[in-house]
Amino acid sequence: MTTSQPYWVFHFDLEPLDGFRDILLAELVEVGFDSFEETPAGLSAYVQPKELPENWWSELRIRQMEGVSLSYRKEELPDINWNAEWEKQFDPIEVGDRCRVRADFHPYKEVEYDLIISPKMSFGTGHHQTTYMMLEFLLEAELEGSSVLDMGCGTGVLAIMAEKRGAVQLQAVDIDAWSEENSRENTEKNGCENIEVHQGDGQILHRWPAQFNWVLANINRNILLQDIPLYVDTLQEGGALLLSGFYTEDLPLISEKCEAAGGRLEKKRVRDNWVAAKYVF
Ligand SMILES: C[S@@+](CC[C@H](N)C(=O)[O-])C[C@H]1O[C@@H](n2cnc3c(N)ncnc32)[C@H](O)[C@@H]1O
């Protein structure tokens, strides 16, 4: 998306947000939208007019879901230079004084971990509290020589950080094809050589029984509750789960699920009511 093209942007209001924004995003990708921004009320989504089927609105399955309310406002944009748009919206993020997440159009600055991420429409630039806290955990984790699963990899930012910190065998998985492609692009940009990227969900984990020292999963409450047992099955004895994507009020449920699988909460972080938690097994 480097050239100027006419676009439409749809500003979606979604209620409730928690857990449903990902579903909306996945459905919009299916019908042809190709770039997204999170908004406090929902999502702004971009599409080239020629890509959007006439019946897209009536086809959205999320509209039939019980208790979900969705509406939109459409704006026509004559020409967008996408590079310029990203430059406006995406400032580099500093995670403490050792890690900086930037796009390749931002100038390099001396830092221990310089992560280059082209976000396009995948989630994971470090701007979100959950990504930020996962990066904080990775900064203090013992990763040298370890094996790591990054589940729901988005831009691949967590796997990239884990390799830079010494992990030697990494699998990154996302349910979304675009994120798979974007993670591959970003692993190359960062010169990572140990990360394999896949499209898939929890079912793919049967390939890797008792394999990983670390499982990273920043997804959402419902997917985590469903898939924690699968994550635990892929952990080696003595391994750890780093989980995020849920709120403080959901921590007891997540902890209960991990404890039932033999885990213990070792440490948690909280920012704006979002939680990241480390469970050891
Ligand atoms: C909140 S983003 C996290 C991205 C990145 N790991 C980070 O920390 O910023 C969650 C990602 O999980 C993916 N996802 C959603 N459901 C999933 C599932 N069941 N299995 C694997 N990935 C999933 C989404 O497509 C999205 O890219």
**Whether the CB of 22 sits within 6 Å of ligand 1:** yes
Residues 82 and 96 in one domain: no
Q: Find out whether 217 and 188 touch, Cβ atoms under 8 Å.
A: no
CA angle in degrees (0–180, nearest 5) for 202-36-54: 95
**Whether the CB of 205 sits within 6 Å of ligand 1:** no
CA dist 36 and 47 (Å) reads 9
Residues 28 and 166 in one domain: no
Residues 123 and 194 in one domain: yes
Residues 109 and 34 in one domain: no
**Whether the CB of 216 sits within 6 Å of ligand 1:** no
Q: What CATH number is given to the structural domain containing 13?
A: 3.30.70
- Of 44-53, 129-138, 194-203, least confident by mean pLDDT is 44-53
Residues 157 and 205 in one domain: yes
Q: What CATH number is given to the structural domain containing 103?
A: 3.40.50.150
Q: Provide the 3-class DSSP secondary structure of residue 249.
A: helix
Q: Scan for tokens 């190709």, then name that residue.
A: 34
Residues 255 and 138 in one domain: yes
pLDDT tens sequence across 209-258: 999 999 999 998 889 999 999 999 999 999 999 999 998 999 999 999 99
Task: Name the token pair of 174.
Answer: 């996302």
Q: Which atom of ligand 1 is nearest to the CA of 122?
A: 27
Q: Provide the 3-class DSSP secondary structure of residue 195.
A: strand
Q: Which of 86, 113, 137 marks a domain boundary?
A: 86
CA dist 125 and 182 (Å) reads 12
Q: Which atom of ligand 1 is nearest to the CA of 226?
A: 19
Axis crossing angle, helix 157-164 with helix 129-140, rounded to the nearest 10: 20
Query: Domain residues for 203?
Result: 92-280
pLDDT tens sequence across 103-127: 887 889 999 999 999 866 555 666 7
Distance 201 CA to ligand 1 centre (A): 9
Residues 128 and 212 in one domain: yes
Residues 72 and 100 in one domain: no
Residues 227 and 119 in one domain: yes
Residues 100 and 22 in one domain: no
Q: Which of 59, 86, 113 marks a domain boundary?
A: 86
Q: Which of 86, 113, 136 marks a domain boundary?
A: 86
pLDDT tens sequence across 124-166: 666 788 999 999 999 999 999 999 999 999 999 999 999 999 9
How many other CB atoms are found less than 10 A from the CB of residue 134? 28
Q: How many domains does the chain have?
A: 2
Side chain identity at 66, as an amino acid letter? E
Give φ, ψ of 125 to 5 degrees. Answer: -105, -10
Residues 25 and 149 in one domain: no
Residues 15 and 127 in one domain: no
Side chain identity at 80, as an amino acid letter? I
Name the residue at shortest CA distance from atom 22 of ligand 1: 152
ipTM: 0.99
